Structure 1
Amino acid sequence: MKDIIRDRLNKMEDLEQRSMLKSLMTGVFLNLVEYQETLNKQIEQRVFDEVLPQEERHDVYVTLCAHEDLDPIHEFLYPILPEDAVPQKVYLSEASEALSRKEEMKLFTCYMECGHRELQSLLHSNRTFRGEIVTTEGRHAITVRLKPSTAYISKVEELYRVFRKNSLPWKSVNAPYIFKFVDCVLVSSDDGDEWDKQQTVKELSIHLEEFESYKRTNMIPLWNIQKLDMKTGGFPVPASDRINYEHVLPLRKTGTEHGYLVDGEESHIRYIKRSEEEITIVSPLEKSDSWTVLKVAVPVATRISRMDYPLFSNNKREGFAGKYARQEGRSVRSKGEIARMIHAFQSAEGLELEDVQVVAPGSGLGITYPLNGFVSDHVRVEADKHRMILRFSKHGIQPEMAIFLDDLLSFLVSEVQLAFPEYCCEGEWV
């Protein structure tokens, strides 16, 4: 509007009339135009604020570190299993009893720094390897077998249950490390019957032959979730329904910028309200001093702590259109919609969706694996689902990311699977 007024003024030849019109426009009309522009900007900002997704506060970040490099006061990363902070111990008495009962016993867990398909071929081969236990009395030769570790995957499943309790939408957790941990299981010993149960284990070692270069011991996966025991900020007050009670948890001390998930018995939680500075839990419990809460910490730049392994997340980088589409719950069933959904994730950098093809039901390709196997679908029959094959190309991938390509592909395909439950979604490389 200002440009139009300026153009009209410049075209007037009578300087006296131009001066009068300029004074009129400057004194009255321009103020009205600027006031209208300010209101328009306020309305625009309100629209953007309304579609700001609250789940951004609940993005999960995952990385890996060696036990000796674990920082107990890290700004936002914590062990997925808190007990990992304590060195693993093997008790000879337990191992001897397991052998006498002809049962397999887990000795320790290690990380395999290799690709998904290579690790799966090793686990499916059911091979055994030789090892040695060094005690205060001598050395004992043992035979071990590798099995997939499910301890960290179970923690992700627990997190999904907590999301359900808090009525929050679920996003697949992009944590490729947890699928590369294996349990070293004791199968037999050359002299198991002669073990003295009073001996102390000083050293435990195994040799994985051609896979030895992939083995990493004493590794701990970390994520930005911390378990807290939070106390209420006062006495519970009756809710508006006059049946339940409102329990208020203040957030100023732990940080209002973080995401919070209330954990507890489902029968004790009716619903949860989150404001900027507090959480209100509506519950039938008349008395409750404290609640178990999972704090999903917002990542911050660290100046001292270092990360030797890449940091993965399920964070999205979508604009207004993507946020609005998610809020409305409407999707266009097209390749473009799938591509928009995939490339909204930061983890899709360097990957390109080339083609989407729907084929008849059949056996899978085996390149990708499901990240949300615990999400049940009681409406559809898996055997009757058509297969949606997503073909990707890769370009500009960093060398340290090469062993995670199949895992990143599985993460992206798992997100498409959540949006298209009527298909069996699979990924492959072109």
Structure 2
Amino acid sequence: MSMKELMLERLKKIENLEQRQLLKDMISGVFTNLIDYQQQMNDRLEQRLLDELKPDEQQFAIYGTVIAKEQYDPIHEYLFPIIPTDPERKVISMEEIKLAFLHQQPAVVCTVFLQCDSLQIQQLLSENRQFHGKLHTTAGDIDIQVYLRKQQIYSKEIEELYNTFQVNGIPWKTINHPYIHKFLDVHLTFQPLPQDEIEIIDMTIDLEEYEPYKKMNMLPLWNIERHKVKNAGFPVPAIDKVNFEHMLSIRKLGAEHSYLVVGDEATIRYVKRSENAITVVCPQDKAGIWQLIKVANVQQDKIGTLAYELFSNRPLDCFMQRLSASHPVAIHTAGELVRLIHSFNLAERLAFIDFEIIENEAVSSYSYALNPFLTEIISKPHHKKTMVLQFKAFKQDFIANDLLSFVVSEVQRHFYEYNCIGVWQ
């Protein structure tokens, strides 16, 4: 209860109306303004404390959603395709199929988005089923058999992004993009094809009981855009007199956004950020063209209407979160576990109930690993104990397990001495 509410509550208990009115006038004239002033000073002090802690993780937050290709806005300010060429409608050619068969490689005829639970997708992939379909060609329809495999291209993009974060010295946080794990490649089984020069116009496939979940021509988006930038001037020797500083202007791209320089540890020593430029320190002594990754600073009120909910890995902006990000210390306690889980804005989706440490026993998990490329932590999984994280779902929809996997994968990054799995209670 605030001080104002407390005083009004006490005023109501004064039975003498004249005294109540007199005291009310005094409070309204003096104490109310004093309380407002004190509250303003407290807010300013709190903001000053927060401004002292400005972790990079707030600036490099990754957002993601999915839309139908026909709804994609190519001039959107914040959301871009994960693969820049995805918006182009591509139909595989008969020559490409024959060439894949000749080299005994998989012939991917299209990609589908399954709007269903992750466990259903795992079950479907484990069955190695084949489905019927048709190739609609200029010479008529051709019956085909297809099978499904998990789409890997988006996962590889995230792994490359992780490597870029490491080169730029930015702490990594698990990407919360629940939709990219529901894209499946449709592979054509080997079969004799017409030798005549015919063109494929379109294709259809029947996924039987999974047909209601099938979505064609879907496009995953995130707030990352790639640019090529030339040196702003000539390289100058760095302070170590071994490397050179390359200045890249970001004024035209938008100084309010965050940027990463694409490269590896052999070509980039470190990266510095100023108000309107990026400075790359590296052994290269000649000017050139650099690849930049722009992480757009998303303004939620300017996103517009989306058919699928927008998610991000940005933690809640509070003092404790900024303090822990600015002073990263491994604190493996139950309290730190709870703080980490509650640091994300998923309270309307799930609630943490409890956790349990058990021996390596077979436990049915509803979560899956989102950071399989984190191999720098040397450990033997079969020697670890299992941390079972129990959650309650407030909204059990087709991405519930994917959001659970995001939270569990973040816990796994911090509590790497355990095998972390998530379950619903």
How much has 1:408 moved relative to structure 2?
0.3
Structure 1 residues 101 and 252: alpha-carbon distance in aligned structure 2, compared to 1, 3 A threshold: closer
- Structure 1 residue 251 corresponds to structure 2 residue 250: yes
| Paired residue secondary structure (1:196) | coil
Per-residue deviation, 1:351: 1.3
- Aligned length in residues: 387
Q: 1:48 matched to which residue of 2? A: 50
Distance 2:305 2:196 in 1: 42
Specify which of 408, 411, 416 is matched with residue 411 of structure 2.
416
Q: 1:201 to 1:391 in 2, by over 3 A?
A: same
Distance 1:43 1:302, change over 3 A: closer
Question: What's 2:421 paired with?
Answer: 426
Pick closer, same or farther for the CA change 1:343–1:304 going to 2, 3 Å.
closer
2:130 to 128, 133, 137: 128
1:96-111 aligned within 5 A: 96-99=98-101, 103-111=105-113
Which residue identity is paired with 1:157? Answer: E
Aligned to 1:16: none
Structure 1 residue 364, shift from structure 2 partner: 4.5
Could you tell me how far apart the structure 2 residues matched to 1:155 and 1:198 are? Answer: 35
Higher helix share goes to which structure?
1
Q: Which residue of 2 aligns with 1:282?
A: 281
Q: Contact 2:238–2:244 (CA<8 Å) still a contact in 1?
A: yes
Consecutive aligned runs of 4 or more in structure 1 exceeding 6 Å deviation: 40-44
Q: Give distance in 1, aligned partners of 2:307 and 2:338.
A: 31
How far off its partner does 1:95 sit?
Answer: 2.0
* Cα distance change, pair 44–61 in 1 and its aligned pair in 2 (3 A): closer
- Contact 1:348 1:412 (8 Å CA) reproduced: no
Q: Which residue identity lines up with residue 417 of structure 1 in the other structure?
A: Q
Pair 1:326 & 2:325 matched: yes
Instruction: Compare CA radii of gyration and give the structure with the larger one.
Output: 1
CA, structure 1 residues 380+135, in 2 after alignment: closer, same or farther (shift >3 Å)? Answer: same
Structure 2: stretches of 5+ with no match in the other structure:
1-36
2:398 counterpart SS class = helix
In the other structure, the counterpart of 2:141 is 139
SS of the residue 1:340 aligns to: helix
Q: Structure 2 CA distance, aligned partners of 1:100 and 1:239?
A: 53
1:313 and 1:347 in contact (8 A); partners too: no
Aligned-partner Cα distance in 2 for 1:390–1:112: 27
TM-score (normalizing by structure 2): 0.86
Mapped partners of 1:332, 1:100: distance in 2: 55
- Counterparts of 1:161-172 in structure 2 under 5 Å? 161-172=163-174
Percent of paired sites with the same residue: 39
Give the CA RMSD over aligned residues: 2.2
1:373-404: per-residue Cα shift (whole Å, max 9, x none)? 01104521111011011000123x3xxx7111
CA distance in 1, matches of 2:420, 2:63: 24
C-alpha distance in 1 between matches for 2:45 and 2:238:
33
Q: Contact between 1:75 and 1:302, CA under 8 Å: does it hold in 2? A: no
Q: In the TM superposition, what is the alpha-carbon distance from 1:307 to its structure 2 partner?
A: 1.2
CA deviation profile, 1:97-135 (whole Å, cap 9, x unmatched): 444666531111110010100111111111100001111
Q: Is the contact made by 2:332 and 2:415 (CA closer than 8 Å) also made in structure 1?
A: no
d(CA) in 2 for partners of 1:101, 1:241: 51
Name the structure 2 match of 1:91.
Answer: 93
Deviation at 1:65, TM superposition (A): 1.0
Alpha carbons of structure 1 residues 268 and 207: separation in structure 2 relative to 1, 3 Å: same
Q: Which runs of 5+ in 1 are unaligned?
A: 1-33
> Which residue identity is paired with 2:52?
E
Give the alignment's TM-score, normalised by structure 1.
0.85
Q: How far off its partner does 1:188 sit?
A: 3.7
Q: Deviations over 1:58-87 (max 9, x none)?
A: 100011111111111001111001111211
Task: Decide whether aligned partners of structure 1 residues 100 and 261 sit closer, same or farther in structure 2, where only a CA change above 3 A counts.
Answer: closer
